[in-house]
């Protein structure tokens, strides 16, 4: 029912009801579409802020992307009604809105397209969605085949939601010249100062067809009639009424009449998207449906575009599902983050840096530019802003208006991956202005100032202030008075110091390195003095000096982040390590991964903040918040806890069995930002996917694979091979792209070796260090691992 295709190009689902929220997503340089297996869709594009061209039936709130998006009958979607002209029966593809169970159904999520094959009443409908690389629109193909032994007369009705575009002005009509439907609106505004923006907007939605329809309908209400969306009155008539929408809710519906001999087929292509005016739409028609086949060329170009997002490892392990996910889906999700910046013009600084940490593995140039962009918005004080402005008209919105204190730590943490991967230490010597442009400094100086900012943003004990939040946004009432401190941030600061020390060390600044290493040690000592609670580290200390995230708390007793980061920073000695790892397993681990905190808060705790008001088990309040879980997995690998690490890593990907996938509710084509947690309090809902694929999880998973599981992390000299394969793996192979070279690495358990032995092209590499690799060259690496 849920399987990967043999070539691993697609994940397939063969029932429209088993996994009703299953989905895939496509994106390009301008837009994103989240496509549900039943035909529902959420599409957004940038102009420059996120906008829609296919709307809900009512006025929607403008907001950031939400998890656990609910569907409903009139949710925006892309559908095809099919009517048998002789029997009058109708069904729809993919499944909504008619919900007539197909005889056969396949929903296939690919990397660069999404496909359906639906057989219903012996009619086969094949549909595909792809995108162009640079234009904002959807490319749809529809093929209809008569599989029955009889000639069939059909009407086909592509039905694309336009919805409630605007209370100020909306309309729609069929345009003979364009051979399509054009719906027009004006983005509502009240202040004349906004007009200059509104007048530039792409307030039109078009549906263009490559074949002339017999009829159409643009008026949603007229289309539906009393039949309703599941059985529109207009479809039960011989011909659509060729109506228009005048300040009524528009819709784009076409009608094609088919007369198919047994085995015969007909094909159609459609373009659906936003535009500024008719001329632009005419240009689109010319480009995609004109003389040369622009449509197919765009599909090919998009395929190549997506293929550029391949990662730097291809793996073959005893775990085929893991292989599929790591080889195909994980780098794609990282690439999406790096390319789209989560469809925001002001990504949170920590997200932007981590997303580009991921891009270091795929497109290091993009990562490099992003680090420079972020640093050019740093205050001369060293403080990093809450969000990075990516468009001249952008401004800090939503959570970015709330001051957080953790942004500086991500600089060395994320740079370190970039440097490991590229060895491009020249980046540190680039000169970048501080925000405002009065001062400039090298990247090295920028990071120094960031570290120094962290040193001064501490209380008398040496604990880092939390202000209105750290990595955990809604922990917003711990420190608004300027006294409360973050346990996690203090520990993370120690890790940032030691990471920066490593970088300084490697780049010829041993004295600076020594200072930061000392600072890291001091910080770790402070953490152990004030935050260690006996079995684990506390999450923080409030404005009123209350330690929380400790054993005497009934809710929010233990938080995951301080534990993992204490492993990374070295705060935890071996005794503490053992204790906290055991505690995490006992109190936070669930069948779906490790939870962010437990027990979930069920009511407001005013000195902790908004996190305690979030729904138990959702988002930050006790979910299996994969971003935090990925930190922890990384930390376990750093500590050599390879079995623990792998078990948790494996829980992050739905499956392998159908039961687990059904429980999560999503195909294993992306890691969601969370699975519902609070497993011990609300077992019934635990494990469900949020279906939100925006998450800082993915670069950390990738880093865990490279630095941890396969131990193929870059160093200035090359790669130090230090695998941490799970005990049950007898062998594994990894194709590793690294600084232009290609390594074919084979891992083998060998009963005779006592310690890992690494052979480069047959020759034993000292200390497991592979060096002197040349770009453009292929190498064979054999890694022998003790049994």
Active-site residue set:
473
Residue 199 interacts with a copy of itself (CB under 8 A): yes or no = yes
How many CB atoms are closer than 10 A to CB 230?
Answer: 14
List 170, 356, 486, 561, residue binding a copy of itself (CB under 8 A): 170
Among 685, 713, 715, 746, binds a copy of itself (CB under 8 A): 685
Q: Which residue, 583 or 612, is less far from a copy of itself as judged by CB?
A: 612
Distance CA 382, CA 388 (A): 15
Whole-number Å distance between alpha carbons of 377 and 498: 24
Query: Where do we find the tokens 């923080």?
Result: 540
Q: How many residues bind a copy of itself (CB under 8 A)?
A: 64
Please tell me whether residue 192 binds a copy of itself under the rule CB under 8 A.
yes
Per-residue interface string for the shown chain with a copy of itself, residues 452-491, x marking contact by CB under 8 A: ----------------x----xx-xx--x-----------
SS3 767: helix
Q: How far is the CB of 615 from a copy of itself (least distance, A)?
A: 4
Under the binding rule (CB under 8 A), the answer on residue 570 touching a copy of itself is: no
Decide if 748 contacts 783 (C-beta within 8 A): yes
DSSP state at residue 739: T
Partner residues linked to 92 by β-bridges: 81
Nearer to a copy of itself, 103 or 728 (CB): 103
Should residue 703 be labelled a site residue for a copy of itself when binding is judged by CB under 8 A?
no
CB of 647 to a copy of itself, least distance (A): 27
- CB under 8 A: which stretch of 136-144, 380-388, 508-516, 616-624 binds a copy of itself? 616-624
Using CB under 8 A as the binding rule, whether residue 15 contacts a copy of itself is answered as no
Task: Say if strands 114-120 and 123-130 run parallel, antiparallel, or are unpaired.
Answer: antiparallel
Instruction: State whether residue 233 is helix, strand or coil.
Output: helix
Among 325, 312, 335, 430, residue whose Cα is nearest residue 376: 430
Residue 75 lies near a copy of itself (rule: CB under 8 A): yes
Q: Which of 580, 567, 690 is nearest to 625 (CA)?
A: 690
> Which one of 9, 29, 68, 424 is in contact with a copy of itself (CB under 8 A)?
68
List the one residue out of 336, 372, 517, 545 whose CA is nearest residue 447. 372
- In the bound complex, what is the minimum distance in angstroms from residue 280's beta carbon to a copy of itself? 17
Instruction: Give buried/exposed letters for 451-481 (b at 16+ CB in 10 A, else e).
Output: bebbbebbbeebbbbbbbbbbbbbbbbbbbe
How far is Cα 693 from Cα 223, in angstroms, rounded to an integer? 34
Residue from 30, 34, 74, 691 in contact with a copy of itself (CB under 8 A) = 74
- Window 383 to 422, contacts with a copy of itself (CB under 8 A): 398-399, 401-402
Whether residue 94 is preceded by a cis peptide bond, meaning omega within 30 degrees of 0, is yes
Query: Can you tell me the distance from the alpha carbon of 167 to that of 147, in angstroms, rounded to the nearest whole number?
Result: 46
Q: Interface with a copy of itself includes 233 (CB under 8 A)?
A: no
| Cβ(624)–Cβ(597) below 8 Å | no
- Tell me which of 6, 149, 176, 191 binds a copy of itself, using CB under 8 A: 191
Contacting residue, 18, 56, 366, 396, with a copy of itself by CB under 8 A = 56
Smallest distance, a copy of itself to C-beta of residue 298, A:
31
Q: Could you give the CA distance from residue 272 to residue 637 in angstroms, rounded to a whole number?
A: 46
Beta carbon of residue 70, minimum distance to a copy of itself (angstroms, whole number)? 5
Candidates 186, 201, 316, 756; binder of a copy of itself (CB under 8 A) is 186
Question: Does residue number 525 form part of the binding site for a copy of itself (CB under 8 A)?
Answer: no
Q: Which stretch binds a copy of itself (CB under 8 A): 53-61, 424-432, 566-574, 590-598?
A: 53-61
Vertex 56 angle, CA 114 and 66, to 5°: 70
Task: Of 338, 340, 487, 466, give the one whose Cα is nearest residue 407.
Answer: 466
- Binding residues for a copy of itself, rule: CB under 8 A, are 17, 56-63, 66-68, 70, 72-75, 99, 164, 167-171, 186, 189-192, 195, 199, 221, 226, 228-230, 246-249, 398-399, 401-402, 468, 473-474, 476-477, 480, 604, 606, 609-610, 613-618, 676, 682, 684-685
């Amino acid at each position: 029912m849920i399987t990967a295709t043999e070539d691993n190009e697609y994940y397939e689902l063969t029932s429209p009801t088993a996994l009703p929220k299953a989905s895939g997503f496509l994106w390009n340089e301008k837009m994103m579409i989240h496509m549900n297996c039943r035909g529902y869709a959420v599409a957004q594009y940038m102009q420059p802020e996120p906008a829609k061209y296919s709307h809900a039936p009512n006025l929607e709130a403008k907001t950031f992307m939400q998890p656990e998006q609910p569907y409903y009958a009139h949710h925006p979607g892309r559908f095809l009604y099919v009517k048998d002209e002789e029997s009058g029966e109708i069904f729809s593809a993919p499944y909504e809105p008619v919900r007539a169970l197909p005889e056969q159904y396949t929903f296939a999520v690919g990397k660069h397209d999404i496909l359906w094959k639906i057989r219903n009443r012996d009619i086969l409908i094949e549909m595909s969605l792809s995108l162009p690389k640079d234009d904002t629109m959807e490319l749809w193909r529809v093929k209809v085949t008569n599989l029955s032994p009889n000639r069939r007369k059909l009407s086909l009705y592509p039905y694309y939601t336009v919805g409630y575009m605007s209370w100020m002005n909306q309309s729609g009509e069929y345009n003979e010249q364009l051979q399509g439907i054009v719906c027009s609106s004006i983005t509502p505004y009240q202040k004349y100062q906004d007009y200059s923006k509104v007048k530039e907007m792409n307030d039109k939605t078009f549906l263009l067809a490559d074949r002339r329809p017999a009829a159409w309908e643009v008026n949603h209400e007229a289309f539906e009639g009393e039949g309703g969306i599941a059985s529109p009155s207009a479809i039960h008539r011989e011909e659509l009424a060729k109506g228009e929408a005048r300040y009524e809710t528009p819709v784009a519906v076409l009608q094609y009449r088919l007369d198919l001999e047994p085995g015969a087929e007909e094909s159609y292509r459609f373009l659906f998207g936003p535009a500024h005016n008719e001329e632009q739409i005419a240009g689109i028609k010319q480009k995609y449906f004109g003389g040369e086949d622009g449509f197919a060329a765009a599909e090919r170009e998009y395929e190549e575009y997506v293929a550029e997002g391949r990662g730097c490892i291809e793996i073959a392990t005893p775990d085929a599902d893991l292989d599929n996910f790591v080889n195909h889906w994980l780098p794609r999700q990282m690439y999406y983050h790096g390319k789209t910046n989560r469809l925001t013009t002001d990504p949170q600084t920590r997200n932007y840096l981590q997303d580009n940490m991921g891009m270091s593995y795929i497109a290091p140039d993009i990562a490099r530019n992003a680090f420079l962009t972020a640093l050019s918005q740093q205050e001369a004080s060293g403080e990093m802003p809450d969000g990075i402005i990516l468009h001249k008209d952008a401004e800090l919105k939503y959570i970015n208006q709330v001051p957080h204190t953790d942004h500086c730590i991500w600089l060395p943490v994320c740079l370190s991956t970039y440097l490991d991967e590229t060895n491009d230490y020249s980046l540190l010597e680039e000169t970048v202005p501080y925000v405002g442009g009065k001062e400039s400094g090298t990247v090295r100086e920028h990071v120094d100032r960031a570290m120094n900012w962290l040193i001064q943003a501490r209380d008398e004990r040496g604990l880092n202030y939390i202000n209105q939040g750290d990595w955990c946004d809604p922990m917003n009432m711990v420190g608004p008075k300027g006294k409360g401190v973050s346990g996690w941030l203090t520990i993370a600061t120690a890790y940032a110091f030691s990471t920066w020390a490593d970088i300084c060390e490697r780049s010829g600044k041993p004295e600076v390195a020594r200072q930061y290493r000392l600072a890291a040690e001091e910080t770790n000592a402070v953490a152990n003095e004030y935050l260690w609670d006996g079995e684990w580290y506390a999450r923080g200390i409030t404005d009123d000096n209350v330690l929380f995230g400790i054993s005497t708390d009934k809710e929010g007793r233990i938080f995951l982040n301080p534990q993992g980061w204490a492993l990374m920073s070295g705060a935890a000695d071996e005794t503490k390590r053992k204790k906290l790892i055991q505690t995490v397993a006992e109190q936070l681990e669930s069948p779906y991964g490790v939870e962010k905190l437990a027990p979930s808060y069920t009511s407001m705790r005013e000195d902790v903040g908004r996190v305690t008001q979030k729904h138990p088990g959702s988002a930050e309040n006790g979910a299996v918040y994969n971003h935090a879980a990925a930190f922890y997995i990384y930390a376990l690998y750093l500590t050599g806890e390879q079995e623990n690490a792998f078990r948790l890593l494996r829980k992050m990907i739905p499956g392998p069995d159908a039961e687990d996938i059904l429980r999560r509710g999503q195909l294993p084509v992306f890691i969601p930002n969370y699975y519902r947690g609070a497993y011990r309090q609300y077992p019934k809902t635990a494990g469900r996917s949020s279906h939100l694929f925006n998450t800082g999880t993915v670069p950390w998973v990738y880093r865990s694979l490279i630095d941890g599981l396969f131990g193929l992390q870059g160093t200035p000299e090359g790669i130090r091979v230090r695998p941490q394969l799970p005990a049950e793996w007898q062998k594994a192979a990894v194709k590793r792209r690294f600084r232009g070279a290609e390594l074919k690495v084979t891992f083998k358990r060998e009963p005779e070796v006592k310690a890992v032995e690494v052979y480069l092209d047959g020759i034993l590499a000292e200390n497991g260090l592979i060096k002197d690799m040349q770009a453009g060259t292929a190498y064979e690496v054999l890694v022998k691992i003790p049994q």
